[in-house]
Structure 1
């Protein structure tokens, strides 16, 4: 009897065979509290900006803040990481922090056709730095009190290269840069360390261990992928830049380029408040 009842419930939940299920029957959409969304003009078309701020009142010096590129891949995870790492149970250094995700219109906030022109290709990347510093940042910080000593620009891959560009161009604005697996090969001369004595932000650089060609080959990566890693020298360039900056290269064991995004974001949250 119990088995029959369980089977009947399962059929009811799944719907009658041959009929289309409608996810809208589950109820209303989830709404993220303490959040806002607006559009701005970017170098190659509109951009979408999403902001989430803490429920807690700002401290006297203001909230920390993270400006994150590729909002579709970073915004939600950063919000969760801040909630968990900044909780009373965590008892760590993380304090109330605003997340600002910058992406593109359309599903998922990702536009693969515009990532290159907006984030790493001239003149779009330089124009994108100006959009961030002259349009997005002032609008956000006119509404939310922010601590300039804990203001980070963050990105992964193309976004990581952009974060370095923005941080090195505007060290007066960004106290911290987090660059996960930065695509330094896109501009080898333009994304190097600032000259000795120049003002520069604190920089976190990370890679996945499987971005090393031999490690990727040993893990069974396709030969074309291994050759691409070798020709772009993802890991080698990251090591060189970290050494020039006098900072540690954080390496995530057993993870590839894409798989390293999640631990990179968690590390960035800690880095901002370390």
Structure 2
């Protein structure tokens, strides 16, 4: 297991973003050098749910192996945080990535109930409805179906439009999306080559995801993938010191210690840690976009 420490190129300041904000004018509406945007509408396998996919495609000729691809959850929020200078910087690289920004089919920055269902794994073995471990009454447990949607419906639709490098496929998620990325790497470690978990909700279900990773270490003889752990380190102004990353306080800290102990047992998994110092949980979403995409564009190895 390789541990690398990196710093983000930029960090936003200010209060935590309001999840109820709606998408307005974004970089997709601007005149860009090096990228063009498309929008796809994808239905779930049962036809009951629809997803909005913002597709950012480099205008350059595709490399022989195709473009790297980054599937990014909370796609509306990511789109709102994307800035033209970053895209132009990526476009100037030898292998700029295709961005697949996956959102629920509405104009909300964050659709709380929908993402709770899609981003959380099932905790029990039965087939009945499950509800969020945080006690908010929202349905949960749809992560496996959502992962299948990405792999079996969304990515094939992208491949029909642009050449993809199958050796560089990234899944990026923040908070519950980071929980989803960790679940994906434990259940389908070959679905992507890079898994980015930004301030993942390790506390969820009393550390349920860490238990999954502990079991995966025994189930998979090798996991040839990269795991990027990007975590905020907010400063507690009352004490003048740093407090732990993520939400839910002690629960996240304890699950983090368990995760640190489990990672060395996950053979073949390359772990890269990216600290996001001084940032609260909500702020890490925007701050983690550039480091992930820059690394994807810079690293041409399969």
Please indicate the TM-score interval, normalised by the length of the shorter structure: 0.7 to 0.9
Q: What residue is the counterpart of 1:95 in the other structure? A: 95
Provide the residue aligned with 1:119 in structure 2.
119
Residues 64 and 98, structure 1, Cα contact 8 Å, conserved in 2? yes
* Correspondence for 1:62: 66
Change (3 A) 1:161 1:226: closer
1:205–1:242 contact (8 Å) kept in structure 2: no
Q: SS of 1:83's equivalent?
A: helix
Using structure 1 for the length normalisation, give the TM-score: 0.73
User: Residues 38 and 253 of structure 1: is their aligned pair in 2 closer, same or farther, counting only changes over 3 Å?
Assistant: same
| Residues 53 and 102, structure 2, Cα contact 8 Å, conserved in 1 | yes
Which structure: greater helix fraction? 1
Describe the SS at the equivalent of 1:255: coil
Give 1:100 shift.
0.6
Counterpart selection for 1:40 from 38, 43, 65: 43
8 Å CA contact 1:39, 1:49 repeated in 2: yes
Equivalence for 1:251: 275
- Alignment equivalent of 1:169, drawn from 187, 191, 201: 187
When the two structures are superposed, what TM-score results if normalisation uses the length of structure 2?
0.67
2:211 to 163, 178, 189: 189
Alpha-carbon distance in structure 1 between the residues aligned to 2:238 and 2:116: 27
Equivalent residue number for residue 5 of structure 1: none
Cα separation, 2, equivalents of 1:98 and 1:190: 30
1:206 aligns with 2:234: no
**How many residues of Structure 1 are paired with residues of Structure 2 in the alignment?**
237
Pair member with larger Rg: 1
Structure 1 counterpart SS, 2:181? helix
Q: Distance in 2 between matches of 1:175 and 1:109?
A: 27
- Measured in 1, the distance between the counterparts of 2:54 and 2:247 equals 37
Q: Is the 8 A contact 1:64 1:95 kept in 2?
A: yes
Per-residue CA deviations over 1:86-128 (Å, capped at 9, x if unaligned) read 254xxxx662211111111222352111221110142411111
Residue 162 of structure 2: aligned partner: 144
* 1:267 paired residue number: 291
Gap change, CA 1:260 and 1:41, over 3 Å in 2: same
DSSP 3-state at the match of 1:184: coil
- Indicate how the Cα distance of structure 1 residues 257 and 178 shifts in structure 2: closer, same or farther if over 3 A, else same: same
